[in-house]
Amino acid sequence: MWFRFTALLLIIAACGTNNTKDTHVNLLPEDQMISLLVDIHIAESAVQTFKLNSDSAKTYLRTYYRQIFEIHQIDPDDFFKSFDYYESNPKQFEKLYEQVMVEMSKKEALLNQKEDH
């Protein structure tokens, strides 16, 4: 999972980021980060199910990442700076990712429930 997320960060960075802002000015709150990370992981899982070659997968992921940032009305720079901030605080980062897993489990349960009906 970490490898995929690292790849995600590199791909999004390749889309162009501007690192001139102060890190704390646009720090995203935890609930917003959780929501973004859930959507990012769902997008990665969706692309994995396509069983595409690496270049095609990257193309799809770039598109999904842009859409996720647009939907959440988040600047990618703000996301990366916030991610770096949370990652530099391991306890806070662990707590954040525990919530990401909880939210993903909830979404999976809802999906399974819908499939059963």
Stretch 74-98: mean pLDDT, rounded?
95
Average pLDDT over residues 68-73: 97
- Predicted confidence at residue 65, as pLDDT, reads 96
Cα 19 to Cα 14, 29, 107: the distances in Å are: 13, 19, 33
In this prediction, residue 102 carries a pLDDT of: 96
Provide the pLDDT for residue 10.
47
- What does the longest C-alpha to C-alpha distance in the chain come to? 51
Q: What is the mean pLDDT of residues 102-113?
A: 91
The pLDDT of residue 114: 82
Q: Residue 24: CA atoms inside 13 Å, Cβ hemisphere, count?
A: 1
- What percent of the chain has pLDDT above 70? 79
Percent of residues in the chain assigned helix, strand, coil, to nearest 5: 80, 0, 20
Instruction: Indicate the residue type of 66.
Output: R
pTM score of the predicted model: 0.75
pLDDT per position as a tens digit, 47-61: 988 888 999 999 999
